[in-house]
Structure 1
Amino acid sequence: MIIEVASELETKELGKKIAVGLKGGEVFQLVGDVGAGKTTFVKGLAAGLGVDDDVQSPSFTISRMYDARDGLQLAHYDFYRLNDPGIMANELEEMMNDPTTITVIEWADIVEGVLPEGHYTLRFSAPTETTRHIEVSDTLEISE
């Protein structure tokens, strides 16, 4: 399914709607060019999970952890600057196997081999300056 959003606010709202049904253990692979809306989506997802912190792209820190609602945590990874996952692959596998963690990975192509079966892939594209197309798996639950 392809969802069209016309603003950053709509991208965040989509993240919030997806967050409603999350219970922990979910893994998201976000695919798209720089500026396509991946981090904006994560900000909405985090807000929907009750994260109080200001969510920032972990492009330079590689990962950020946030406390979320109901004892859950959000693990946000950005592998844009990595050529090889190295020890990050071990940390990532640990987080993906934690049933209380929702894992979101930007630029996950270098760790695609360790992503669990059943992970969700969201593909972001920017046909115009403000419009984004987000292709989501048909199995992903989006609340109204």
Structure 2
Amino acid sequence: MIITSPAKMEQLGRQLGAELKGGEIIELVGDIGAGKTTLTRGLAQGLGIKDNITSPSFTINCNYRGRNGLTLHHYDFYRLSDAGIIADELAETIHDHHAITVIEWGDSIKSVLPAEHITIKINHRADQGREVEITKVIDRAEA
């Protein structure tokens, strides 16, 4: 799908967030400035979160309380070449059925990422818009 503005990216996030039930792991893939945090801001709104959502590039992880006891865990591994101890924390988070886990720049934690997750790829377009591709990756062993 083509997204033409940050407001539309946030709207897409709100729509997705409203559908989340807990236990979802979402990997966001895209270059700097692609709209990953903007999409996450919309996801948070869809989860009923009123907090100001910013990129956790320096803090690595931010947690927010949403509707029905759900928690949004927003990770940004941009500055890490090796997730180290954060990978242990992430491993606990992704098994929490009351959590939605959003991961930006997840290359350093691929070994921790479960086989079943949602990947959202955001690519810059020449017309300043974004192309968004949403894929649910399932564990073929269980399919």
Question: Cα distance 1:59–1:14, how it changes in 2: closer, same or farther (>3 A)?
Answer: same
1:1-144 matched pairs, under 5 angstroms: 3-128=1-126, 130-137=128-135
Q: Give the TM-score of the pair, scaled to structure 2.
A: 0.92
Superposed CA deviations along residues 35-90 of structure 1, whole A, max 9, x for unmatched, are 00000000000011001110010000000000000000000000000011000000
| Unaligned segments of structure 1, at least 5 residues | 140-144
RMSD across aligned positions (CA): 1.2
Q: Would the aligned equivalents of 2:4 and 2:130 in 1 still touch at CA under 8 Å? A: yes
- Give % identity: 47
SS of the residue corresponding to residue 136 of structure 1 reads strand
| Unaligned segments of structure 2, at least 5 residues | 138-143
Structure 1 stretches of 4+ moved >6 Å: none
Q: Which residue of 2 aligns with 1:142?
A: none
Superposed CA deviations along residues 116-138 of structure 1, whole A, max 9, x for unmatched, are 12100011111136300111116
**Distance in 1 of aligned mates of 2:127 and 2:57:** 22
SS of the residue corresponding to residue 91 of structure 2 reads helix
- How many residues are treated as equivalent by the alignment? 137
